[in-house]
Amino acid sequence: MLQRFLDPQVLASISSLDLVAKTVVDGFVAGLHRSPTFGFSQEFAEYRQYVEGDDLRHVDWNVFARTERIYLKRFRGETNSQLLILLDTSASMGYTSGNITKLDYGRFMAASLAYLSSGQRDATGLIIFDEDVINYVPPSTRQGQLSRNLHAIEKAEAGKRTDFSKPFMHFQQYLRRRGIVIVISDFYDDPKTICKTVEPLRFHGNEVVLFHLLDPQEIAPKFKDPVLLVDVEDNVAMEVTPEYAKTEYKQKMDQHIQGLRDEAARAGLEYVFMDTSKPLDVGLRNYLAIRQRRM
Amino acid sequence: MGFLAPWFLGGLALLGLPVYIHLLRQYKQTPLPFSSLMFFERRTQSSIKHRRLKYLLLFTLRCLFVFLLVLAFSRPFLKSSAIAGATSGKREIIALDNSFSMRQGDHFAQAKKDALDAVQSLGAGDRGQVITFGGAARLITEMTGDKQALRAAIAGIEPGDDASSYSELSRVLRSTAETQKSDITAEVFTDLQKSSWPASFADARLDAGTKLNIHSYADKAIPNFTVESVDAPRRVFDTKKVRTLATIAGFNTPDATRTVTLIANGKTLESKQVKVPANGRATAEFLTLDAPYGVTKCEVRIDSADAFPDDDRWLFAVERSDPKPALLVHSNGDNASPLYVRTALDAATEAAFTVESQTPEQAAGGTLSKYAFVILSDPGPLPQRLEEEIDKYVQNGGSVLIALGKNAVPGAKLPAAGIQLLQIHTLTLDHERPLTIGQMDNSYSSFGGGQNWDGVDFYQTAKLAFPQDANTRIAARLSDGSPLLVDRKNGEGHIVVFASALDNVANNLPLQPVWLPFIEQTTHEMGGIGAARTNYRVGSYVDLRTATEQNVPVEIIGPDNQRALTLSESAKAATYQFPTQGFYDIRRANGREEMAAVNPDRRESDFTLVTQDTVNLWKNTGVGSFTGTSATSAGNTEEHSEIWWWVLALLAILAVAETVVGDRHLEPVGQQAGRQVEQ
């Protein structure tokens, strides 16, 4: 049952993105435990008698006035975690060999993460980019943040070509608190360049996760006949034989994936490879694992 | 394998079309969008090969389609060895003479028996065909190895009444040799009559490879008397004025006296003795024919006392009726033309008409429908009522003879004819020579029998203007080229315009001998007497209907009192061929009933034989082997079995296959692009 709700083919038939996210997350996360730490937030947790050394700012003076006893008012602890989702909407993300494009898969992924983190009281932000920043939703825990994120994700459409360097230079200014940065992209670029571009995000104490989305046809193309392939980003056409696609292309793609994985590890980035024909739980599970590790 | 229309093979050039479409035409490949080409390299060296292989099946189907289409048009045939093997035996034509002369003695029975023996002698693999040539040659069976069918066909042949013809037999043998494309053997069972031999020897020529075996049933010419012909009137109006002339012929006979008997409706009317000279002819004349009113079946019979009594009688039919009234309209002062016309008709052999003479005013008071014909003998201007009556009379099938003389009014239109009188030209004796007849259409009924118009002078003639169309026939012209006798069809009837008067003033025709036959034949034609024949020969044709009588049933009752025509023939047949002798009752579409007497061709009564030298020459024309273009030697004949329908069937299957395969390549672009990716 769980698998069914995470199947991208099933999710593609759901028109509402928040419903998609709710379906995914509710199906995946059953009984997520609350934060074990108490902090300073708006949700009341308990009263505790004052002991020496406690911060007087947390004394509930109303209780003191009524009872002449000093009690501290305790609230649900902030996780102090911030999630920033970077969704690549370059033209290549619009490719699909089946029913669901990489961009759709990425949108489902981003929506589900936003929903999930929202449930965790994490401040969730969103950056939509291709060769430039298309949309930015600052991380926040305010009411309606989930809707803003989902709305931004909803509007995301495949745009121009990918250029990591340009938008990532700007990302620095958006990251003021340490948190988790998730980059969802197909990463059609040199792994070193990618990691070199993304690596600065870590310097603020962020955990950076690269979600590498690829269509099955991109991973292992299967053509019956020679085909004329047209690059969706620059419209360059090239005639490709099935033999080449089966052998050399596959080899190059594997090298690219491995190179990206290695470069990410070297740069301290988390790398998650995702096949768009596979369920979404891989991504969610990775996010939760990282978050758990940070607590 | 061969082709009946090999020039269509030129259409194989169309094979270039699928080659062009599949291999030469610039290949258009549907672009397939892909996310990134950063891991691809341009490799085109094997692309063309794969393109060609991609539509190989479709290409093959289309090439085959074009090839088979061309093949079907060129009409291929197989020279099947199986067929050749089955037909490797000899081809034998069994030709049976069933003409009238074969009725003599037991000739025909003997011929049938020998023909059956010939069938029996056919070996395994031999094939035979039965034909008859008593009259027009008829193929009774196809070339077959089925002896039972051949025997049944021979048993069903009956002796006929027609005349045999060796030229007809030779024509069929030539045609068969050409069809079979092999040597053939003809077993001919006949009595070898010289009268059946064609006038030109070339007509009896055989193709090389035709072996002729003649089985003759007459070793010498037998003497035979026959009634060769009978000349009797078709209609009898006065039994005392009927002249029946019978010609008695003897073939290979000595001097002899024969009794000739005239029989009417089975009743002997008169007998006469005639002396027939050796191998000659004699005539017997009967001057009365006491026939009752209506149609009488008559015959002239002789006591031949010879070996062939079947030709001892001659059938003929006469119809007795009262003379029909005819109307002669003349001017008041004209006494000459009634006299001359009446005298001519009274003097005719058959007193078929009684002439009533009336002035235009008298004629205008009566009706014309009771008259056999009407003569307007220069009557001058006619009363309006008479003109209308004449027009109605002609439209309904009546005939009118208009003679134009001094009373005619120049510029007037002749009644019912659409012919205008331009002027009356009168000869001035001092200056001009009289006109004579310049041109005469001997096929016209008025001029039959070789009339001599020399000495006929015309002093006063009418110049006419008439429509030049198919309904107008100029039967005679004067020496100045102007029409003398014009026949114009109007409705169902005829108007005959004589451009002069019927008296001895405008011309001297009534004083000339040709006057009598001219008037007699003209009036007989107009009165409907001379139109139809009553005596026919076996094998001859009779016209059953005119162009205006389509789909009107015609009935013929044969000598056996059975209907001779089927239902469809009765409604559609235009002619009928008399197959046997006897009396035929013909009920025509217009309701008229006629009796036709049909007699065998009297050439069949002459049993003089074809000389042996002629027979040998005839046989020699077939010596040799068949040398047709597609022929092989005897015993190894090839037959063509056309296979174009198999080709068409294959073509239909190919068309379906091409549609199915082609459909896969004609789907929408998106669908096609998606299909390029192997799922």
- CATH number, residue B477: 3.40.50.880
- DSSP string computed for B628-644: -TT---TT----EEE-H
**Rounded average pLDDT per 10-residue block, chain B, 679 residues:** 79 80 62 82 55 69 88 79 55 90 89 91 87 87 88 90 89 85 87 88 85 86 89 81 88 90 90 91 88 88 86 89 88 88 80 85 86 90 89 88 88 83 80 84 81 87 86 90 90 89 89 89 80 78 78 88 88 87 87 86 88 87 65 49 84 88 64 49
Interface of A with B (CB under 8 A): 92-93, 95, 97, 102, 186, 188, 215, 217-218, 221-233, 236-245, 248-249, 252-253, 256
Q: What angle do CA A242, A247, A250 make, to 5 degrees?
A: 100
Convert the pLDDT of each residue in B151-183 to its tens digit. Answer: 999 999 988 888 888 988 888 888 888 888 778
> Is the domain of B372 the same as that of B425?
yes
Q: Alpha-carbon torsion B62, B67, B72, B76, what sign? A: negative
> Is the domain of B62 the same as that of B183?
no
Looking at the partner chain, which of A95, A226, A240 has a beta carbon nearest the beta carbon of B40? A240
What is the rounded distance in angstroms from the CA atom of residue B498 to the CA atom of residue B474? Answer: 10
CATH fold of A2-33+80-294: Rossmann fold (3.40.50)
> Is the domain of B199 the same as that of B231?
no
- What's the pLDDT score for residue A236? 82
With a CB cutoff of 8 Å and minimum separation 6, the contacts of A256 are: A191, B39
- What's the pLDDT score for residue A75? 63
Query: Do the Cβ atoms of B144 and B107 come closer than 8 Å?
Result: no
Residue B625 located in a structural domain: no
What is the rounded distance in angstroms from the CA atom of residue A163 to the CA atom of residue A194? Answer: 9
Residue B634 located in a structural domain: no
Q: What per-residue string of b and e applies to A160-194 under the rule 16 or more CB within 10 Å gives b?
A: eebebeebbeebeebbeeebbbbbbbbbbbebeeb
> Is the domain of B317 the same as that of B328?
no
Query: Do the Cβ atoms of B231 and B244 come closer than 8 Å?
Result: yes
Residue B626 located in a structural domain: no
> Domain limits at B52?
2-32+46-80+643-676
Q: What per-residue string of b and e applies to B413-429 under the rule 16 or more CB within 10 Å gives b?
A: ebbbbbbebeebbebee
> A283 to each of A137, A286, B535, B668, how far by Cα in Å?
21, 5, 118, 37
Inter-chain CB proximity B44 and A239 less than 8 Å: yes
Looking at the partner chain, which of A229, A243, A256 has a beta carbon nearest the beta carbon of B40? A229
Residue B153 located in a structural domain: yes
CATH code, domain carrying B170: 3.40.50.410
Cβ-Cβ contacts under 8 Å, B678 against chain A: 222-224, 242
> Is the domain of B409 the same as that of B510?
yes
With a CB cutoff of 8 Å and minimum separation 6, the contacts of A62 are: none
> Is the domain of B207 the same as that of B268?
no
What is the rounded distance in angstroms from the CA atom of residue B378 to the CA atom of residue B400? Answer: 13
Residue B555 located in a structural domain: yes
> Is the domain of B245 the same as that of B266?
yes
> Is the domain of B477 the same as that of B336?
yes
What is the rounded distance in angstroms from the CA atom of residue B294 to the CA atom of residue B283? Answer: 27
The tokens describing B331, both together, are: 């001017």
CA B280 to chain centre: 33
Cβ-Cβ contacts under 8 Å, B32 against chain A: 227-230
Inter-chain CB proximity A241 and B50 less than 8 Å: yes
Instruction: State in Å, rounded, how far the first CA of chain A is from the last one.
Output: 30
Inter-chain CB proximity A231 and B43 less than 8 Å: no
What is the rounded distance in angstroms from the CA atom of residue A157 to the CA atom of residue B588? Answer: 96
Query: Do the Cβ atoms of B310 and B227 come closer than 8 Å?
Result: no
Packing angle of the helix pair B644-665, B56-73 (nearest 10 deg): 150
Residue B447 gets which letter from DSSP? G
What is the rounded distance in angstroms from the CA atom of residue A210 to the CA atom of residue B122? Answer: 102
Which of A90, A187, A227 is best to mutate for the B interface (most B CBs within 10 A)? A227
Give residue B534's identity as a one-letter amino acid code: T
With a CB cutoff of 8 Å and minimum separation 6, the contacts of B402 are: B375, B376, B414, B415, B417, B495, B496, B497, B498
Cβ-Cβ contacts under 8 Å, B30 against chain A: 228
Residue B164 located in a structural domain: yes
> Is the domain of B26 the same as that of B121?
no
What is the rounded distance in angstroms from the CA atom of residue B542 to the CA atom of residue B534? Answer: 10
Residue B636 located in a structural domain: no
Inter-chain CB proximity A230 and B34 less than 8 Å: yes
With a CB cutoff of 8 Å and minimum separation 6, the contacts of B550 are: B572
CA A155 to chain centre: 16
> Is the domain of B331 the same as that of B310?
no
Inter-chain CB proximity B35 and A102 less than 8 Å: yes
> A109 to each of A92, A113, A164, how far by Cα in Å?
17, 6, 20
> B275 to each of A17, B169, B256, B287, how far by Cα in Å?
134, 38, 6, 19
Convert the pLDDT of each residue in B319-347 to its tens digit. Answer: 888 888 899 999 888 888 889 988 888 87
Residue B628 located in a structural domain: no
Give residue B457's identity as a one-letter amino acid code: D
What is the rounded distance in angstroms from the CA atom of residue B187 to the CA atom of residue A245? Answer: 84
Query: Do the Cβ atoms of B513 and B452 come closer than 8 Å?
Result: yes
**Rounded average pLDDT per 10-residue block, chain A, 295 residues:** 51 60 60 42 67 84 89 64 84 85 87 80 84 83 84 83 72 70 87 83 78 88 80 81 83 90 86 83 70 58
The tokens describing A131, both together, are: 């060769």
The length of chain B, given as a count of residues: 679
What is the rounded distance in angstroms from the CA atom of residue A162 to the CA atom of residue A184? Answer: 12
Cβ-Cβ contacts under 8 Å, A215 against chain B: 35
What is the rounded distance in angstroms from the CA atom of residue B578 to the CA atom of residue B596? Answer: 10
> Is the domain of B362 the same as that of B475?
yes
State the nearest Cα–Cα gap between A10 and chain B, in angstroms.
Answer: 19
> Is the domain of B75 the same as that of B106?
no
Looking at the partner chain, which of B37, B51, B678 has a beta carbon nearest the beta carbon of A238? B37
Nearest-Cα residue of chain A relative to residue B33: A230
Domain count, chain B: 5
Q: Which residue has the tokens 């099946």?
A: B57
> B304 to each of A100, B229, B232, B248, B258, how far by Cα in Å?
117, 15, 22, 10, 7
- Residue ranges with strand state E in chain A: 38-49, 71-76, 82-88, 123-129, 133-140, 180-185, 207-214, 227-231, 237-240, 270-275
- Tell me which H or E stretch contains B346: helix B336-346
With a CB cutoff of 8 Å and minimum separation 6, the contacts of A235 are: none
- What's the pLDDT score for residue B26? 53
Give residue B422's identity as a one-letter amino acid code: L
Packing angle of the helix pair A17-28, A281-294 (nearest 10 deg): 70
Inter-chain CB proximity B54 and A217 less than 8 Å: no
Tell me if ipTM is over 0.85. no
- If you count residue pairs, one on A and one on B, with CB atoms under 8 Å apart, how many are there? 93
> B496 to each of A157, B399, B562, how far by Cα in Å?
104, 8, 41
The length of chain A, given as a count of residues: 295
Q: How many CA atoms lie within 13 A of A262 on its CB side?
A: 9
- What's the pLDDT score for residue B374? 92
Q: Which residue has the tokens 């069994």?
A: B94
Residue B426 gets which letter from DSSP? E
Closest CA to A20 of A104, A127, A126: A104
Inter-chain CB proximity A232 and B50 less than 8 Å: no
> Residue ranges of the alpha helices (H) in A87-221?
102-119, 145-155, 165-174, 191-198, 216-219
Please say which residue of B473, B505, B526 terminates a domain.
B526
State the nearest Cα–Cα gap between A139 and chain B, in angstroms.
Answer: 31
Cβ-Cβ contacts under 8 Å, B51 against chain A: 225-226
Looking at the partner chain, which of B31, B50, B54 has a beta carbon nearest the beta carbon of A237? B31
Per domain, the residue ranges of chain A are 2-33+80-294, 38-76
State the nearest Cα–Cα gap between A104 and chain B, in angstroms.
Answer: 14
Bridge partners (DSSP) of residue B271 are: B261
Please say which residue of B495, B526, B557 terminates a domain.
B526
Angular region, B635: left φ>0, alpha ψ -120 to 50, beta rest: left
- Which of helix, strand or coil describes residue B131? strand
Q: Which residue has the tokens 């061709």?
A: B601
